[in-house]
């Protein structure tokens, strides 16, 4: 299953050609995002954008952050710290959800490629 990251959804809403093409390739398959991504999108939205964000979130399986995901995120944080390759804390939480559930994270954010055993798909 593909898990859509914040950068992908923002690019999709902005009509980015590469994101729109990637979305077309994935349509018909199971698509998800994380509750962390939902938070990032909703806290940054305003006006018309808010309605568009709510619409896309309603079409996705929004994955929660529980204890298993917290344990995975903590492990990712340790791995990154050991390599001296820290990334944004919210991205660590998103990666914890995706890696724990063996999902492919669809993103334009290259920081996710620093995370061992995380399946990442760019566009």
pTM over 0.75: yes
Per DSSP bridges, beta strands 61-63 and 31-34 are: parallel
Chain segment 7-64, per-residue pLDDT in tens: 999 999 999 999 999 999 998 899 999 999 999 999 988 666 788 999 999 999 999 9
Distance CA 121, CA 123 (A): 7
Q: Which tens digits make up the pLDDT trace of 69-100? A: 999 999 999 999 999 999 999 999 999 999 99
Best CATH choice for the domain 2-121 from the list 3.40.50.11810, 3.40.50.1010, 1.10.3720.10, 3.40.50.10740: 3.40.50.1010
In the chain, domain spans: 2-121
């Amino acid at each position: 299953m593909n898990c859509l990251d914040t950068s992908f959804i923002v690019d999709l809403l902005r009509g980015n050609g590469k994101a729109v093409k990637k979305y077309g390739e994935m349509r018909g398959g199971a698509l998800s995002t994380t509750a962390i991504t939902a938070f990032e999108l909703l806290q940054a939205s305003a006006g018309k954008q808010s309605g568009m964000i709510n619409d896309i979130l309603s079409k996705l399986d929004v994955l929660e952050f529980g204890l298993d995901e917290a344990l995975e995120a903590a492990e990712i944080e340790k791995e990154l710290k050991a390599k001296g390759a820290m990334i944004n804390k919210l991205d660590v939480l998103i990666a914890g959800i995706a890696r724990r559930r063996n999902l492919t994270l669809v993103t334009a954010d290259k920081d996710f490629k620093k995370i061992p055993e995380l399946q990442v798909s760019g566009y």
